[in-house]
Structure 1
Amino acid sequence: MKVTELHITSLLLPFALMLSGVTAQADDLAVNAPVTHQTTGEFEDIVFAVENAILNAGLLIEGHSHVGDMLARTKEDVGGGKDLYSHADVFTFCSASVSRQVMEADILNLQHCPYSIFLFETPEAPGQITVGRRAYGGSMQPAAELLDSIIADALMLD
């Protein structure tokens, strides 16, 4: 190999690796798209239903984040150009039994705890509420089933 060919190859390698990382990120997003459900109603009624479904599952809510309020409050401070949500909340909670099960299967599943359910309404679709969770597979399937059952209870699916 000539010096110039070696030099060009060494210059192009970082770009090739960077592009493969972008492709991997896009593939990861497609594979790990969140699980969502659409419902109609008043946002606060759906928040109440999700909160009750978590509590009815015997779980303690660790956090109730009002993400939509925070984004609205800080929009101008961070140079935001539009209102993303009319309302957006995230509930976080954990289940000792499910966490034990998934972490015994793979100790790295710690990264997924606490579990969360999000819900939002956009200015473009008033009254249409999206409720969802992160996508889980493999050894996290018990957590996925728990979250699905909570959402099904809240939205009266089944």
Structure 2
Amino acid sequence: MNYEIKIKGIEPVLAATLRFSGRSEDAGKYFPDIYKALKGQSSGSPFFCYYNKEFSETADIELCVPVSEKKELRGIIIKELPRIKAVCTVHTGSYETIKNAYQALTKYISEKNLETDIPAREVYIKGPGMFFKGNPDKYITEIIIPLKNPHFD
């Protein structure tokens, strides 16, 4: 698959967050806890923030659901993720093949001699629903890797 890679500004986002340490495929089980605490009120696609510099079987992940207002929720932290400049691409297909998108990004970053930062984000634009799994071939995930010392235009 050919990936279109862009460098773009990502605006700040207010999100309900829950930190998780473990396998990324297990982290998604905790999204319902966030949605339940929010009573279904979200204002965008959910995403993961990955705080590991390198791939690891046990990842430090923050589950995030965009919200429109800051309010107290038990066990859930609401915080603003700052504006960033990032190298991005969109992966269409199952999560099992998402490594291909990361390989394309890694190659681009290396060729352009870019310095990256953490956390990387995976924004789940279209994925499995709460009740129906959906078709994994049609999942859409945006991968966002922040740049160090960005200059905003």
With normalisation by structure 1, the TM-score equals 0.23
| Structure 1 or 2: more strand by fraction | 2
| Structure 1 or 2: more helix by fraction | 1
With normalisation by structure 2, the TM-score equals 0.24
Larger Rg: 1
